[in-house]
Structure 1
């Protein structure tokens, strides 16, 4: 009798690599220094990792950078979304980070 493995059991949480997280944190730090963002959260789930960005600590995230990978042999996909829609999809995290420059910025006065 052959034993069929359950693909959901063999899947593990997905994490950002050190270099991916370094790029994300560099962009995040610049916006914190500008007073636009205040807090972040990291979540590692089966098949995805998320970096959530908050304007205020006790709110829903303003943006989420999500890394998704269905199979370990596939390239991961990075998705930037706000609380309503997908803003950008790319195979490299730097492309998603560069999309922040196209978004409206908070003007302090």
Structure 2
């Protein structure tokens, strides 16, 4: 799990909910190299580590919002996303954006039910 790149909490608990800030594919403040797929895999690993630190799992994720710097990556996003979540299918939105922190190609935020 990488430290936030700004003045915000990686996640906050509100009752039975854990609201996770957007995760990018960074390790120790630097984006992983190799393009979209390795970056996305790191995003998902960072999200899983964040969930684990709060006693949650990927199957507890109820909703994600995915921000893509290039919507041409949408098909590959779906392939890697399915591998990460298995049979679990959280609600999801995918949004094309002009830019992301550190020049990231993808960012994912999540709402998690802990109850």
TM-score (norm 1): 0.31
| Bigger share in helix | 2
TM-score (norm 2): 0.30
| Bigger share in strand | 2
- Max Rg structure: 1
